[in-house]
Amino acid sequence: MPSFELIAAPHTPFFANGDLALNVVAQQAAYLRDKGVHGVLIAGSTGEGSSLSGSERRDLAASWAEAADGLEVWIHVGHNSPREAAALAAHAAEIGAHGVCAAPPSWFPLGSIDRLVDTCAEIAAGAPSLPFLYYHIPVLSHVQLPMVKFAESARARIPNFRGIKYTHLDALDFQACVRDHGDAIKLYWGCDELLATGLALGAHGAVGSTYNFATPLYHRLIAAHAAGATNEVRTLQSKAAQLVELLASHNYMAAAKATMKYLGVDVGTVRCPMPPLAQGGEAKVFADLERFNLKSLLE
């Protein structure tokens, strides 16, 4: 499936004091280019975007736009203030990003398709020349509406609406989106540990955190799916799921950032309110990755 777009959600690099370590972005970009990802989606969940100030988000976006060199750069601009989200989108257009993506405001509940589309329209209007993706992640946004109906309304009312990053396990809704809208918009699967499901349901691509450090494994999985090698798909998907489980046993996000250091790209640790690794935790993550034979899986 050569046209399948694998998009990494990079970690935001921090110094030990919690400041942005923007000098690391070029190394991250070079590493991901070498591994063959299609693009990046920055400042989302994995990028701890909600823990960054507006100026930090702009600086991070500019650093990625400068370092991209062939990678598509999608910038997550979601914010509890739709006006600030629109301003972040406008900045993304100014720096030459490929597109913008937004999760909805989560403080005040969005309980109807109409209000969700109104909100997304205000955000997307900040960068009318850029493709706009809606970030469907109910576990964090608390917006649990049928995307097949949202897509129908968004296509009619948002001129630059181009797709959905679908981080939710509702196979029937996702399948309906592919059936009814798959020829008009892009549908990106957002559950790395079940990529095989997204492939089977007809996703156009995938966006996720583990594509930072396990891209070769997923490339083999995608190729096996395209070849109809069902048993190989199952084996590779199981390995990917085991890796997620391993990292989750240590505090997933902090352990995932430690994994990048293990592979030679030090992105620091997480920022408050994310929980860091316990004392001595990095060494334990490294030891578990050795036992898991991660480096051999990535060859």
The catalytic residues are 135, 165
Our CA angle for 242, 247, 249, nearest 5°, is: 95
Separation CA 58–CA 129 (nearest Å): 18
Longest dimension (CA), the chain: 53
CA angle 128, 165, 129 (to 5 degrees): 10
Tokens of 88: 């972040």
Report d(CA 275, CA 265) in Å as an integer.
21
Q: How far is CA 117 from CA 41, 122, 134, 154, 159, in A?
A: 22, 9, 10, 6, 12
